[in-house]
Amino acid sequence: MTNRKKALLGASATIAVWATAFPFSKIALQSVDSLTLSVARVMGGALLMLVIGVVKGLHIPTTWREWGLYILLGATGNFLYQVVFNEGLRTIPAATSSIIMALTPMTTALMATIIYKDTIRPIGWLFTITAFIGVAIIILWNSALTIPVGALWTLLGMILFAVYNILNRGLSLKGHKPITIAMWSMFTGAIMALPFAEHAIELIVVAPISAKFAMAYLAFLSSALGFVFWSYALEHAEKVSDVTNFMYISPIVAAIVAAFLLGEIPNMGLYIGAPVILGSLYLFNRYR
């Protein structure tokens, strides 16, 4: 199998498990609270990642600075992010959540102009504005200029994950492999979740089988194996954009799966705003 086919296979597998995380999270949230789902997803994913780490013999952080960065990564990309993301998903459709989260790469690029002195051309700023106009269309369509609280939680989650990407990039530039970063950030996130584990276990035990299956899927596939698939795709891609462009498919997959599993039918705001956002993201990535 050629490297291109391996990259496409890895990217496709990643999108499959990441995009379906939105509707499966909605299923779990019908039976447990946001905190419980976050604990289950982070701790379950960390267990599998630690097994993978032992098998692969991954790098162990050796300095306080490295551990400090991994603790920040554990918060912004795992435990705190999961709590905020799940709280938002409780009150907005899965498709809406996935569209808002699709802004993460653009927000990361904007942050990089400050942190890493990256440059964005004027046309890139134009597409940034149009993307956020698309978000406004979606969240205000039926809200009479009142922003749904779930959308605000999701926007905060998107910003947290953009910070995670910025910190991730800093470690990558120092030679840390993507799967190593994913493993230790998930491990530190799991440590943060420990104080809430007893409460989570009590709710998980009495949850219906559908919620248990959804939480297992999210922990082992969306969280752990999703990062493994993504690392595999990046490792074999000729250009990073060959893989990252697959991210534009994620909201479409999430909307289709949510329609089948949850019966969620997007309103007209999503039909108008989604193409504006996805088109802006594509053009931003191409011309910035």
**pLDDT of res. 69:** 94
What whole-number distance in Å separates Cα of residue 155 and Cα of residue 66? 28
**pLDDT of res. 64:** 92
**pLDDT of res. 145:** 57
Pick the more confident residue, 172 or 213.
213
What whole-number distance in Å separates Cα of residue 264 and Cα of residue 71? 36
The amino acid at 48: L
The answer to whether residue 288 scores a pLDDT higher than 80 is no
Q: Which residues have CB under 8 Å from 89's CB, separation 6+?
A: 22, 25, 26, 29, 97, 150, 154
**pLDDT of res. 242:** 66
**pLDDT of res. 284:** 83
What whole-number distance in Å separates Cα of residue 28 and Cα of residue 207? 9
Mean pLDDT across the chain, nearest whole number? 88
The burial class, CB within 10 Å (0-12 / 13-18 / 19+), for 240 is: exposed
Task: Name the percent of the chain lying above pLDDT 70.
Answer: 96
Give the range among 43-57, 140-154, 160-174 with minimum mean pLDDT: 140-154
Average pLDDT of the residues in 193-202: 96
22-55 pLDDT, tens digit per residue, is 999 999 999 999 999 999 999 999 999 988 888 8
221-261 pLDDT, tens digit per residue, is 999 998 888 878 877 877 666 677 677 788 888 988 999 99
What whole-number distance in Å separates Cα of residue 232 and Cα of residue 116? 26
Alpha-carbon separation of residue 1 from 10, 226, 229, 236, 275 (angstroms) = 12, 21, 16, 11, 34
**pLDDT of res. 171:** 87
- CA-based nearest residue to 262, from 83, 96, 137: 96
**pLDDT of res. 157:** 96
**pLDDT of res. 170:** 86
Token duo for residue 254: 């999430």
The DSSP line for 180-207 is HHHHHHHHHHHHHHGGGHHHHHHHHHHS
57-99 pLDDT, tens digit per residue, is 778 888 999 999 999 999 999 999 999 999 999 989 998 899 8
The DSSP line for 148-184 is -HHHHHHHHHHHHHHHHHHHHHHHHHTT--HHHHHHH
- Locus of tokens 């697959």: 246
Q: Which of 9-18, 163-172, 187-196 has the highest mean pLDDT?
A: 187-196
- The model carries a pTM of 0.89
For the chain, what is the largest distance between any 2 Cα atoms, rounded to a whole number of angstroms? 55
74-83 pLDDT, tens digit per residue, is 999 999 999 9
Domain ranges of the chain: 3-287
**pLDDT of res. 156:** 97
**pLDDT of res. 241:** 61
